[in-house]
Amino acid sequence: MWSIIQAAGWPIWPLILASVIALALIFERLWSLRSSVVAPPGLVDHVLAEFRQTGATPELFAKTAAQGPLGRILAAGLANVKAPRPVMKEAIEEVGRLVTHDLERFLTTLGTIAAMSPLLGLFGTVVGMIEIFGSQSSSASNPIQLAQGISIALYNTAMGLIVAIPSMIFYRHFRAKVDSLVVEMEQQAIKLVDFAHGERK
């Protein structure tokens, strides 16, 4: 591995840094965007069951808000359960926007790495081509310097693609995952609003 890094030259170091950052972000988002954490199954039914028994108590607010992003949205609805339907929906939407922003955290960085890595690879290719042309002279060429220039060009191009392709795949996956979770949380919040205003039992 070290021999490959040496052959690729200094332009590969920004790509190595980008790959480490991308890998850390991918593992962090895989852990944070689990459905069981963001929108625990059966949470809204459990909240509604307790609401029927005890009403909108501070204990229910605190317990619900601790149940991840969906819990925060439902807690906002419970805090305004006696308000008119539009006010309750507005409170839920405000918290929902904050929750969505949190779910999208780091995705812009991952998308930037996916878009930037091929350009860094191209930069390494250009540096390698400069090395190749620099090895040529009017009298003779330097085969060692020529081989070094080719190595820099090819290794950096390959590394740029190796970093960019998985980063783009996971970026698209996480975007779709966030959209799916947001839709799911909206449906759960609507159940709470309908129940609170007598439209669902």
Does 120 map to a domain? yes
Average pLDDT, stretch 155-184?
Answer: 93
Q: For 90-134, write each residue's pLDDT tens digit.
A: 999 999 999 999 999 999 999 999 999 999 988 888 887 877 776
Average pLDDT, stretch 4-11?
Answer: 70
CB 64, CB 47: distance < 8 Å: yes
Domain range holding 186? 7-196
pTM of the model: 0.83
Does 1 map to a domain? no
Does 83 map to a domain? yes
Does 132 map to a domain? yes
Q: For 40-55, write each residue's pLDDT tens digit.
A: 888 888 888 888 888 7
Q: What mean pLDDT value characterizes the chain? A: 86
Does 30 map to a domain? yes
Does 58 map to a domain? yes
Tally of domains within the chain: 1
**201 vs 86, higher pLDDT:** 86
Residue 201 has pLDDT above 80, yes or no: no
